[in-house]
Structure 1
Amino acid sequence: MKNYIEEFSLDCVLNEELIRGLAINRYSKGDFIIQQGETPRYLFFLIRGKIKTYKTSDDGKRLILAFKEKFDILGDIEFVQQAPYINTVEAITDVQILTIPIHTAQNYGMNHLPFVQFILQRITEKLYVNSNALAFNLMYPVEVRLCSYLLSVSIDNRTVSNQDLKDAADLIGTSKRHMNRVIVDLCNQKIIERRKDSILIVNHDRLIELAKHNIYEEGIR
C-alpha cells in the first residue's frame, strides 16, 4: 500500500483518514469492477492492469467508450452526483485497484481541498472525452473501430482470443456479418490471420495505421 501511495503521489491529495480507508482489491479477466445502474459503494483507483468501459442501452445494446491501463479514478462522477453508476467497467487483464468506501470519501474528503480539486480535474477530463466518445467513435468506419478493438484486447500485441471477439460487433456498434466481412478483408491483406481459437496479428504496424493509432485508447484528438 505504501509503495502505491508513493508511486502515484496519493499522499498529495489524500489526507490521513482517506489513506486509512484504502484497501487493495484484485480482479481477474472478465470480472466486473463496476456494473451500470448499481448504487456506488466505493471510489476506485486503477493502479495495475487494463479495463474496458462501456455503456448499455435500454434495449440491451452495448458500446465501447474506452480502454484504460494507466492510473485513473473510477466512479468519481457518480461519487459527486451521488447517483448510480452510469457505465460498466470490466477487467480485460488481471487488475489491481485501490478502493475507498464512499462514506469515508464523503465524510473525510469533501472538506479536503487537494482531494476535491483532484476529483474535479479528473471529472472535467472524463466528461469531455465521454461526451464526445459515443458520437465521435461512430463517425469512424467499421474497419477503424475493429482494428482499434483488436489492438486494445490483444495479448502482447499478437493474439486476440475468440472469447474477446464474441461480443466485439455489439461493442463497436456494427453487425456480426459486417464485422466478419472486415475480418476477411484484413486476412486477405495479410494484416491478421484467423486461427481456430484466435486471431493472430501478422502486421502490427499496418493494424495501428488502420486503427488511426487506436481511437479507443487515445481519446479525442
Structure 2
Amino acid sequence: MKKKVLLIEDDNFVRENTAEILELANYNVEIAKNGKEGISKAKSFLPNIIICDILMPNLDGYGVLQIVSKTSGLEQIPFIFLTAKTHQNDLRKGMELGADDYICKPFEESELLRAIEVRLKRVEAFESKNKIPKFNNSSRFLDLKKIKNIDQYLGKKRVYHFKKDETIYCEGNQSNHIFLIKKGTVKTYKINEDGKEFNTGYYTNKQYFGYSSFVKKTPHFENSKAITETQLYKISKDEITSILNNNHHIIFDFIDLLSSNTIANNSQLMLLAYGSVRKKTAITLLNLLENYPEVKNNEIFITRLNLANSIGIAKETLTRTLYSFKEENLIDLSTKSLKVLNKEMLFKIS
C-alpha cells in the first residue's frame, strides 16, 4: 500500500514539481496551498508524513507544526520542513517545536526522497510488532518491564572509562550499542584516503552518540575518540528495544533526543559544502557557540587542529582566516581558545 505524503507549499512551481517527484517515487500525494488548507487536509487525509514550507501567508510552517503536534491523531506524524531559511535560530525553533528534519531549497531529488524514507522507516521500526522480539520471562526482562525512565535503568548499569585521546570505536566496527556520556567530552570524525581528519560532531554530558549506525543496523561509518577523561554507558539493542516496547510513553521523547543533533549537523554540512573558507569558518564558529561543550561567555576552548578539522581546511589556512577575523574585530585569540566578539557580522560573512 502506498505511503501518503501531505505537501504544504504556497509556491506553485515548487509545489507542483515536488509533488511530481513524490508521485514518481510511488507515494500517494495530497497538496495544500497554505497552512490553513494543510491543517484541514491533514485531518481528512491522515498522511504518513507531512512536508511543509515555513514562509507562508496567514499561517506559517511553525504554526502548522504547533497545531499538528497538539491535534489528536496527527501528533505522531513525522514532520519535515521544506525551506530556504538556514539560520541557526530558525533550525533551533523548529527543533524545539518538534520538527523531525529540514530540507533546504534548492534541494536534490535524492535528498528529499532519502529524508522521507528515513523518517518512514523509523516509524515502522517502532510500530511494527513483527520487528520487536518476544522475550522470555527471565528476571532481566521482567525488570525491564518495570522501567519508567531511562535514568532509572542507567543507575544499575556499568560505567565505562576512557582516557583523553582514547578511541571508543572505529569506522567499520559493528554497531551494537548507543553510547550515552555520563561525564566528559567525545568527538566523532572521519578520515579520508589521504589521512586527513574531518570532525563530524562533539558530545558531552547526558548526550548520546553512535546512534545513526545503530538505527540503520550498519557498521559505524565514522570514528569516535574521548577528548577529555570520559565516562559513558553502552546501551545495547536488546535493552533499547525492551525499554521502548514496555514503556510506550517514552518512545517519541527518545526519538526526539536522538535526532536533535542530526538536524543541525545536516544543515551545517550542506552550508559548509558550498561556502568560501571565510564563510565555512564563520559558520563553524557560530555553530560551536551553540553546540560545543567547552564554551563560556562566547569563548570557545578548542585546539586549532580540532577547529580546522571541524571546518575541513588546513591548519595553516585556518590560522590566516582567524587572524583576518581578529583584525576585523570579529574575534579575539589566545593560545587555547578564541572569543567571538561580533556574532552578527560573522553570520553576514560571504
Aligned twin of 1:111 = 245
Q: Are residue 171 (structure 1) and residue 307 (structure 2) matched?
A: no
- CA distance in structure 1 between the partners assigned to 2:307 and 2:261 by the alignment: 24
CA contact 1:53–1:88 (8 Å) conserved in 2: yes
CA contact 1:21–1:104 (8 Å) conserved in 2: no
- CA distance in structure 2 between the partners assigned to 1:187 and 1:22 by the alignment: 47
Q: Are residue 42 (structure 1) and residue 42 (structure 2) matched?
A: no
* 1:132-158 per-position Cα deviation (integer Å, ceiling 9, x unaligned): 231124436144156459864868647
Match of 2:333 among 172, 188, 192: 192
Q: Which has the larger radius of gyration?
A: 2
CA RMSD in angstroms, aligned pairs only: 3.7
* 1:89-121 per-position Cα deviation (integer Å, ceiling 9, x unaligned): 322222221222344444x34523345434422
Q: 3-state SS of the aligned residue for 1:117? A: helix
Q: 3-state SS of the aligned residue for 1:89? A: strand
Q: 1:115 to 1:86 in 2, by over 3 A?
A: farther
Match of 1:12 among 131, 142, 148: 148
Show structure 2 runs of 5+ residues with no match.
1-146
What's the TM-score, normalizing by structure 1?
A: 0.63
Aligned twin of 1:72 = 207
Q: What is the aligned-residue identity percentage?
A: 17
- Residue 314 of structure 2 aligns with an amino acid whose one-letter code is S
Aligned twin of 1:97 = 232
Matched length: 191
Q: 1:110 to 1:77 in 2, by over 3 A?
A: farther
Q: 1:86 to 1:13 in 2, by over 3 A?
A: farther
Q: 1:70 to 1:182 in 2, by over 3 A?
A: same
Q: 1:181 to 1:63 in 2, by over 3 A?
A: same
Q: 1:54 to 1:149 in 2, by over 3 A?
A: farther
- Tell which has more relative contact order, 1 or 2 (C-alpha 8 A, sep 6+): 1
Taking the TM superposition and a 5 Å limit, the aligned residue runs for 1:125-204 are 125-138=260-273, 139=275, 141-145=279-283, 147=285, 152=292, 157=299, 160=302, 164-166=303-305, 168-186=307-325, 188=327, 191-193=332-334, 198-199=335-336, 201=338, 204=339
